[in-house]
Structure formats: structure tokens, C-alpha cells
Amino acid sequence: MKDEAQPLIRLTNLKKIYYTDEVETHALAGVNAEIARGEFVSIIGPSGCGKSTLLSILGLLDTPTEGRYMLNGTAIEDLSAAMRAKIRNREIGFIFQGFNLIGDLTVFDNVELPLTYRDGMSRAERKERVQASLERVGMSHRMKHYPAQLSGGQQQRVAVARALVGQPSILLADEPTGNLDSRNGDAVMKLLEQLHADGATICMVTHDQRFAVCAKRRIAMFDGQVVDEQALEELRANELRQPLSEQAAARSAV
Amino acid sequence: MQPVFQEMRHALQKLRKDLGFTALAVLTLGLGLGATLYMFTFVKAYLLSSLPFPDAERIVHVEQVNTRRGDDGIAITQRDFVEFGRVQQSFVELAAFHIANVGLADDELPTRLAGAYISPSAFDAIQSGARMGRVLSPADAQPGAPPVIVIGNDIWRNRYNSDPQVLGKTIRVNGVPTSIVGVMPEGFEFPFNQSIWMPLQIDMTQPAGPDSPRLQVFGRLKPGVTLEQAAAEFANISKSLGEMYEENKNLTTVIKPFEDAYISKSARTVVGAMFAAVLFVLLIACANVANLILVRTAARQKEIAVRAALGANRWRIVTHVLTESVLLATLGALMAAFLAERGLDITNRALIAADKERPFWVDLSIDWKVLVFAAAAAILTGVIAGLVPALSATRTDVIQYLKDGAKDTGMSASKISRAMVIVEVGLSCILLVCSGLMIRSVVNLQNVDLGIDNTQMLTGRISLLETKYPDPASQLRFFENLVDRLEADPGVVAASAAWSYPGIDGRLTPYRTRAMAGAEPDDLPPTNYAGVMSNYLDVVGLKLVRGRWFDSRDRADSAPVAVIDQGFAERAFPNVDPIGQEILLGGRGNTNAQWLTIVGVSSRVLLDQANDPYHPAVFVPLSQAPSRFMTVAVRTVGEPINFAQRLRETVSALDPDTPVYWVRTLDDWIWVANFTPRLVSILFGIFALIALILSAVGVYGVLAYSVTQRTLEIGVRRAVGASGSRIINLIVGQGMLQLSLGLGVGLLLAMLFSRFLSSMLHGVSAFDPFTLGSVVVVLIAVGLFASLMPALRAIRVDPVKALRSE
């Protein structure tokens, strides 16, 4: 039994370092954070601050170099690739900026895809879940269509349905409105808010302030670290005033 | 199994959507697998099949070998068979037979059938019984026993309309009234493809000389006795016989599986080599499809990344890619089964047309064994073709692809593709070399100089019944009458009868000159010889270069004479005039032979099949060497085959009980003799052509993909001033590098591989420089052509667009 009082996600001094030849890049430099069940959190920060790296680690697509990542009471960092794939399938729903629907599969098949990686689920149950999920995002009438036959907004709603269909513990959304016009972007954000209202835990990476405020809590990042929002604004302002050479020197010192 | 079904459903959807890719991959695999199934049917038939009798592996063949001369496969004399049977302890039953074309006459037209005189114990040895009536019994083989015959199921069904009252019916077999006592089950054609069986009567009064009747001996090993133990026992018996009898000196015994006696080692080697060749074609097909899938997988890296993000583990991704390739291979296998079936049908018809008989247990058709192989080959092919792309797919950088879709699809995929093309070119090179050698060999065979004029000649074989023509004089009279009647026909220029003719058959025997007086019989050189009529020269168009030909002076009771060909004269009498010299034909134990005086020398002639090596030739007058078994030949005014019916009618008018068989033109004999090497060369040609096309497609595919991948690089090169020719050099150079590497490896391997074909090569070395050079030229030309198209596409790259798209 998982302890419902425990946060869904707990990150302790999480670090990610990339090594290329003689260069060491600290993408995450000791991140500490928690996300509770039912929370809607947005991660904000400038380009290269580590948002996407953090999201990849949260989504079990990548592993931290150091530190601890507890998901639903399970320590993730030492799990095998196969085990991570299994947990990813059960606990996490991804929504990507570029939708990432598979062009050769119908809407139904795309949404069904995560369930096909799950053992012991009957075809009838899969069908029921896919239909429910598509109805939830208002796309059940396009089940037999292929992605190319849908608009960008519709494709993203299908992607949301695919993320929801496995009934994951958390939805990870990486710039979900980045490829959409403002009207479709608004519609997708409303959908996420509705899902959150229905009890879904959502963690969204965005650089769009308009949508970041929709989240109930914001985690600000700068140079691989979590900072408070006020500090982030100050850091940005300083950066604008500093010459480029000094900025580079400051970053390499992290 | 559920995940596999899901992957199959998805894979089918994808293949249906991309019909161009599917068709190309299925066609490629279909050709590779089709060739493989076709040749596997030969492997199954010739290498894996055994006699259809219980414990067939215990049925073995016994033959003799002359250790001094190196001759093997020597049939056993009746006396030795009796001696072996008296002493041996290794066999439950030791049996013997000799096969013969048997004249069968009843209410219908006389016919000749493939039959066997067989010892009654043979049926116990192979543990086979009659479907109706009985098999032969020991009493049937006793001297003076009433003549009986056992017939095959086909004759019973076709000639006697499955008459249940056929048992006891009397028919004439070789002119002798004989009673039918049994009908064998369907498919029984032991020992080779016989359809009637008569008791073998051992006549111990016959002298055991080189020309004495010989038997094929076989038996069933006792339980627990190995082939080696039996061989050791028979070697000891042979040694004892060698000490007792002069003609058994230097003879030992070889015991081998029965099937090996009828399927030669060289035939097995050629079938094995050709199967290896089609495996090369299959490997090339696999490499090509692997490249296609690799390119397709590279283009689908993002999809694979999405699947990984949604929880697909490494195994599921491998399954995903492999399912697609196995499905393609399965579709390819269906096409392959169709192609192989068609190919085998054509081959079987060609074999029948060429009178190429094969053992009855050799079945060249697609059966369950071939289908099981096809299923296994399809799955294995799918896995081989899909494995590299599948493993490559698991190395997809998920994060990178989900983020923005990487433009570089991975150097490893390109490197693998290039390596596979090198392998393809190498394998094609081997096949092209083998094909080239076989084609050169067949051209040599087809142009072989028999030393005669082989046009306008029709021939037919006649076997006189011993009961009607018991003595040499009556036999000679029959053929002289026949030739007189034929020459009276206005459609005939000349006619003759002889033991054999150039291009049809040969009879090899050792010979001795007076100068070889002290030579050991087993050290004597061989010559072909034939008894011929005096008008032989006119029919075959042979030239007499010295002395005289046979005429009325050469009678049965006159001094024995011979005419030799120039080849004989050069070898036996290099420094003396051969006219007047004497020769003795026959080897060890030939005590009745007479010295023959040479009266003439003909031009050089190949008195053997067209694909046999040349041996010197000796002719003797038929009057001094008559035979019941002769070939008549007529030189016709018109198309020779149109005279076939007249020939049959003329023979039938002379004796209705004597059929004429093997009626063919001399050109047809040459065609038949060269059939096997021609078939092998055609098959190698087809395999090599498929390999060449697939390799060209492979080179093209990899370069075309490379051009797509290097669009930016080409754009940059163009932007900084590279000319069109520099870009063409860049792309063609890449293709030529792969080609050169493949060619180098391929030529080396081809020289090793072609040695397996040496037994089939005629007048061409396995390392023939012309063939090797031609293959290099062909491959370079094809490689240049395949490289040029992607290169031309490369120079059309617009640098502005290429740089902007980046």
C-alpha cells in the first residue's frame, strides 16, 4: 500500500551531469522538490535551465547522475530499464509539444498503444478505456481517423487522451501548447484544468507565462537549480546587464 | 502471445499503407527464398532421402575397387557373389540384381521396360512384399524353374487396367512365355526405376573374366553390425579371393549406403554447392531487406521514441521491428513457394524430355519437408533481415527524438548498411564467377568436336531376343538385312549398325601393344572400342587417313583386324607406322582375346558421350564381333527426326517382336549428354542474375539514402564552390569503394568456392582469368550505373534550400 499522505514525487539533491569529451555540463545541479497528489505544478525558466532534463527524469526516460527520486514511494534511480519502462507505462502519462502521434495508426490505435504494453488487459477492457478516454477529451467521433486528418488542436487532445488512458498517477506535459495557435492553446489548457479539477496530478513545463499561471504552483528553475520566482526575475535582470563573457564564466562555475 | 498479435496487427496496417516498400521487400525475399526452396527440394531429394523401406539405413551396397588402377564402382562377378554369400556373417540377407531393358509382348504392341533380374532374397533384404500375389521365391531362381515375373503397380494399372485376374496370365518376356505371379505396391520401383522383376539365376558355368556377367550386390546388415565391421569382413574375403583367382588380384571391396551407389559424390557436391549458392542469394536478399527496414526504421525513430515513452521496453521494440520483417518474410515465402513449384515443374518436364532418369526415391516435388523448411526459413530470414534494424531501433535517443526529432539518424545505421552492401557485392561476385565458369564450360561442351559430321543423323537402339537370335551369325544377319532395307529407302543417304557411335556411348577397355608385353594388366592404358559395319564411315562421315577400312575380306573366320583413330596412333605408335602393328583388347583374365592387326587409321574421333573426356578409339568389324545390342544409325535426306516412324516400321516389318527404342537424332544425344551441366549453368545464371540485380539495388539504395542524409553537407560543399563533377566523384567514389571491397573479398572467396564445381567444368579452369576479368568488368559497370543515379540527384541539391532547411 502506498502512503497517501506522502508526496507523489520527492526529489532530493537531484543532479544530472552530461559528459562530452572533456566538457562537463551540469544540467541539474542539486534539485530538491516535491509534488503532492492532485497538484497542478508548472516548471518555468529560461531555455537551457534544465526544465526538459528534469521532466525527462520525472518521466523515467532518463536517470539522475546523483540524488534520489521517489515516485509513489518507489526509489527510481536504481531500477533496470525494463522496470522503468513498466512503471512509466503504469504511472506516467506524457503530453508532448509536438503531439507525437504515430501517423500510421488511427486515433483509436494511438490511444490504445500504452495499454497494449500492459500485460493481462483484455481487448474489451482496452476498447472500453480508449472510448472513455476519447470521450473525455471530446474526440470519440474521430476514432477511425488518422492523425494527418486532424487539426493541431485535435491532435493534442488525442495525445491527452493517450496520456490519460492508462490512468497514470501523473501527467507530464512538455510545452503542451507550444505548437498550437492561441485558440487551440487555450482549449488544451482548459482541458488540463478540467482534468486537474477532476483530480489529476499534472506537471507542466512551459515558458509561456500566460499558461504557467494556470497551475496552482510554479517551480522556477535557473542554471539547473530550483529558485523562487522572485529570485528568478532578479537573476534574469542581472543576466541582461552582464556582458556575455561574464555570464559564461558564471555558468561554468556552477 | 497477445503482444505478438497486437504487433502483427499494427505491422499489417503499416505494410498495407506502404505498398511500395512492402512489394519491394516481398519481391526481394520471394526471389531469395524461392531460389532457396527450389534448391532445398534438390537437397531433400538427393542428399536427405533414403529408400522407403523399414530401417533403410541398414540396407547397403557392396562394390569392388581396383586399388592399382583406382577404378571404383566395379560390379561383382557371379562367382564372387556366391563366394561372398557363402562366407559372410555381416548380413541378414545378401542379394544381387542386374538391370536390363526387357522386351514385353502380350496382346498389345511389344514394348521395352526397365526391369531387373533379381535374387529372390532381395525382397527379404528390403522387407517388401507384393500388393497382389507373391514376390519371387528361391524356387523361381532354380535352373529349369518355370519362368515367372512380378510386375509393378503402374503396368498393372495402365497395361492391364487393374485386372484382378492378371495373376497367372502368360506374357512373352524377351520372347519367353512367362507367368505373372505378383504385383508390387504403388511407388515400388526398386532398385532404381524398374517396373518388372524376374528371378536372377546364377550360372556358375560362366567364366569369371572381365566380360563375364556382373551383378550389383546389396544386403541388409544384421542388427548390431556396423558398416565398418561389414567392410572389414568383406575386405578380408576379397583378400582371400585375390589369392585364389588371378582376376581378383588388386580388387578390394567397398560397402556404402545403398543410396550412395546411385547418387554420385560429384552430384552431391554440385547439389551442395548450388544450395550454398542460393543461400548466398538469400543472404543478399536478407541484406537488401535489412537495409530497406533499416532506412525505414531510421525514418521512424521518432515513433519508436514515442513507443518507448509510453512504456514499450527493449523487447517490445525489438518485437515490433522483427514482427514486420517476419511478416514480410512470410509473404515472401508464399511467393517463394509459388516460384519454386513453377521452377520444379519446368525442371521435371525438362528432365523427362532429356530422359534423365533418377532413383525412384528421389522426389523433386514440394512436400511437407520442404514446407517445414520454408516456414523455418521464412522465420529465420525475417529475423536475420530484421535483427540489425531492431537492435538499431533500441538504441534510439528517446529524449532527443521526443524533443525535436533528430535529423541525424545515426552513423551506425549507415555503417551497417555500407557493410551489408560490401557483403552483397562479395556474394554476387562468387555467384557470377560460378555462373561464368559454367557458361564457358557448356559452350565448350556444345562445341565439342566429335570428329564426325553429326548433322542429319537419326539413331535407335535395338536389343535382339536371345531366344530368336541365339548365335552370332543370326544376329549379324538381322542387322545386315535391316541396313539393306533402310538403305533402300529413298529418304536415307546411308545406314549402318554398330555397338556405339561418337556422341552416344563408349565402351572402355585396356589395350596392349606388342611393346607392352611385360606390363601389368592393371597398368594398361584404356581405349574406347566398337564393333561396326563396313558402311560406318559413310554414315558418320569419318575420314580414313591411312590404310583401309573394313570390307568383305573381314569375315568371322578371317584374321582379326582393327582400325584405330589418329589419337590411338599417336599414343601407342608415336614413332612407327601403325599399319600392320598388333593390339590386344581387354585386361586381366581376358584369356580369350586375340591379337588384332591394324589395317587402317581414321581421323581422330570421340567414341563416347559428348561430355566425356577423349580416349583413343579402336574399331573392329562387326562380322568379327557381333552383338545382340546394337545402335542403328541413318543419315537422312530430310529432317532426321521425321524419319523416326519409318525406322520403327522398318524394324517392326523385319521382326514384330523387336522394338526400337531411344530413337533420337545425334544432335539430341549431344543435347542430352550436356543436359546436366547446362541445367547447372542455367540455374547458376539465374541465381547470379538475381544476385546482381539485388546488389545493384543495394548499392543504389544505400547511396540514395546517403545522399538524403548528406543533403546539408552537399549544400555546404556547393555553397563553397564544389563543382558538379566533384559532387559526382564524391558519391560515385563512395559506391566504388564499397564495390572494390566487396569485389576483392568476393574474388578470393569465388576462387575457393569454384573448386567445388571442378567436376562439372569442361575445358575451363576454376581460376579462368577471362571469367574472373569479365566478372570484375560486369560488377564495376553495374556498380557505376547504380551509383550514378544518386550522384545525379546529389548535384541537383539546391544549396540555398539545403542550408535553409537546416
Task: Give the tens place of pLDDT for each residue, B175-195.
Answer: 889 999 999 999 999 998 899
pLDDT classification of A234: cutoffs 50, 70, 90: low
What are the chain B neighbours of A162 within 8 Å (beta carbons)? 310
Residues found in chain B = 806
Average pLDDT for B295-304: 77
Confirm if B173 and B555 have CB atoms less than 8 A apart. no
What is the model's pLDDT at position B724?
Answer: 79
The chain B residue lying nearest A117, using CA atoms, is: B312
pLDDT tens sequence across B73-93: 888 988 899 999 999 999 998
What is the model's pLDDT at position A9?
Answer: 93
The chain A residue lying nearest B303, using CA atoms, is: A102
The chain B residue lying nearest A166, using CA atoms, is: B310
CA distance to partner chain A, nearest, from residue B803 (Å): 23
What are the chain B neighbours of A144 within 8 Å (beta carbons)? none
The chain A residue lying nearest B397, using CA atoms, is: A61
What are the chain A neighbours of B314 within 8 Å (beta carbons)? 81-82, 85
* Chain-chain contact of B315 with A82 (C-beta, under 8 angstroms): yes
- Domain membership of residue A4 (yes or no) is no
What is the model's pLDDT at position B806?
Answer: 44
* Higher-pLDDT residue of A212, B162: B162
* Chain-chain contact of A113 with B310 (C-beta, under 8 angstroms): yes
* Chain-chain contact of B311 with A81 (C-beta, under 8 angstroms): no
Q: Does A157 lie at the interface with B, CB-CB under 8 angstroms?
A: no
Residues found in chain A = 254
Average pLDDT for B587-594: 67
pLDDT tens sequence across B125-155: 999 999 999 999 999 999 889 999 999 999 9
pLDDT classification of A237: cutoffs 50, 70, 90: low
- Domain membership of residue A228 (yes or no) is yes
- Domain membership of residue A3 (yes or no) is no
What are the chain B neighbours of A16 within 8 Å (beta carbons)? none
Confirm if B788 and B725 have CB atoms less than 8 A apart. no
* Chain-chain contact of A61 with B398 (C-beta, under 8 angstroms): yes
Q: Among partner residues B311, B315, B404, which is closest to A114 by beta-carbon distance?
A: B311
Of the candidates B694, B6, B698, the one whose C-alpha atom is nearest the C-alpha of residue B324 is B6
What are the chain A neighbours of B320 within 8 Å (beta carbons)? none
Asked if the model's pLDDT at residue B583 lies above 90, the reply is yes
Of the candidates B529, B511, B480, B438, the one whose C-alpha atom is nearest the C-alpha of residue B762 is B438
Buried/exposed code over B104-114 (b: 16+ C-beta within 10 A; e: otherwise): bbeeeebebbb
CA distance to partner chain B, nearest, from residue A61 (Å): 7
* Higher-pLDDT residue of B499, B707: B499
Pairs of residues, one from chain A and one from chain B, whose beta carbons lie less than 8 Å apart? 74
Alpha-carbon distance A231 to A225, whole Å?
A: 11
Residue of A117, A162, A175 to mutate when probing chain B, most B C-beta within 10 A: A117
Asked if the model's pLDDT at residue A91 lies above 50, the reply is yes
B456: left (phi over 0), alpha (psi -120 to 50) or beta: left
Of the candidates B208, B182, B179, the one whose C-alpha atom is nearest the C-alpha of residue B195 is B182
Alpha-carbon distance A59 to A161, whole Å?
A: 17
Q: Among partner residues A98, A102, A117, which is closest to B311 by beta-carbon distance?
A: A117
Contact residues, A window 39-58, toward B, CB-based 8 Å cutoff: 52, 56
Tell me which of A85-89, B297-301, B570-574, B610-614 is least confident. B297-301
Alpha-carbon distance A117 to A100, whole Å?
A: 17
| Phi and psi angles of residue B775, each rounded to the nearest 5 degrees, phi first | -65, -40
What are the chain B neighbours of A61 within 8 Å (beta carbons)? 308-309, 398-399, 402
Helix H, strand E, coil C: the string for A37-70 is: CCCEEEEECCCCCCHHHHHHHHCCCCCCCEEEEE
Q: Which domain holds residue A97?
A: 9-252
* Chain-chain contact of B303 with A118 (C-beta, under 8 angstroms): no
| Phi and psi angles of residue B309, each rounded to the nearest 5 degrees, phi first | -65, -30
* Chain-chain contact of A85 with B311 (C-beta, under 8 angstroms): yes
What are the chain B neighbours of A166 within 8 Å (beta carbons)? 311
pLDDT tens sequence across A5-31: 688 999 999 999 988 777 888 889 999
| Phi and psi angles of residue B111, each rounded to the nearest 5 degrees, phi first | -145, 165
Q: What is the largest CA-CA distance in chain B?
A: 107
What is the model's pLDDT at position A170?
Answer: 92
CA distance to partner chain A, nearest, from residue B325 (Å): 17
Distance linking the first and last C-alpha atoms of chain B: 44
- Domain membership of residue A152 (yes or no) is yes
Asked if the model's pLDDT at residue B406 lies above 50, the reply is no
Confirm if B797 and B714 have CB atoms less than 8 A apart. yes
Say how many domains are in chain A.
1
What is the model's pLDDT at position A252?
Answer: 46
The chain B residue lying nearest A110, using CA atoms, is: B307
Confirm if B388 and B294 have CB atoms less than 8 A apart. yes
pLDDT classification of B589: cutoffs 50, 70, 90: low
* Chain-chain contact of B310 with A56 (C-beta, under 8 angstroms): no
- B448 burial via Cβ count (<10 Å: 0-12, 13-18, 19+): buried
Q: Does A18 lie at the interface with B, CB-CB under 8 angstroms?
A: no
Alpha-carbon distance B278 to B295, whole Å?
A: 25
* Chain-chain contact of B13 with A109 (C-beta, under 8 angstroms): yes
What are the chain A neighbours of B405 within 8 Å (beta carbons)? 98
* Chain-chain contact of B399 with A62 (C-beta, under 8 angstroms): yes
What are the chain B neighbours of A102 within 8 Å (beta carbons)? 303, 306-307
Mean pLDDT of the residues in chain B = 86
What are the chain A neighbours of B3 within 8 Å (beta carbons)? 116-117
What is the model's pLDDT at position B258?
Answer: 93
B738: left (phi over 0), alpha (psi -120 to 50) or beta: alpha
* Chain-chain contact of A89 with B315 (C-beta, under 8 angstroms): no
Of the candidates B471, B428, B475, the one whose C-alpha atom is nearest the C-alpha of residue B749 is B428
* Chain-chain contact of B405 with A61 (C-beta, under 8 angstroms): no
Number of C-alpha atoms within 13 angstroms, CB side, residue B322?
A: 20
Beta carbons within 8 Å of A55's beta carbon, 6+ residues apart: A43, A172, A174, A203, A205
Residue of B21, B310, B320 to mutate when probing chain A, most A C-beta within 10 A: B310
Alpha-carbon distance B86 to B16, whole Å?
A: 73
pLDDT classification of B388: cutoffs 50, 70, 90: confident
What is the model's pLDDT at position B719?
Answer: 67
* Chain-chain contact of A114 with B17 (C-beta, under 8 angstroms): no
Q: Does A149 lie at the interface with B, CB-CB under 8 angstroms?
A: no
* Chain-chain contact of B310 with A90 (C-beta, under 8 angstroms): no
Residue of B307, B317, B324, B402 to mutate when probing chain A, most A C-beta within 10 A: B402
Q: Among partner residues A81, A113, A174, which is closest to B314 by beta-carbon distance?
A: A81
CA distance to partner chain B, nearest, from residue A162 (Å): 9
What is the model's pLDDT at position A240?
Answer: 56
What are the chain B neighbours of A20 within 8 Å (beta carbons)? none
Alpha-carbon distance B606 to B503, whole Å?
A: 7
Distance linking the first and last C-alpha atoms of chain A: 40
CA distance to partner chain B, nearest, from residue A6 (Å): 25
Separation in Å, CA A111 to CA A86, A94, A143, B37? 17, 12, 9, 42
Asked if the model's pLDDT at residue A75 lies above 50, the reply is yes
The chain A residue lying nearest B404, using CA atoms, is: A98
Question: What CATH number does the domain containing A159 carry?
Answer: 3.40.50.300
* Higher-pLDDT residue of B758, A129: A129
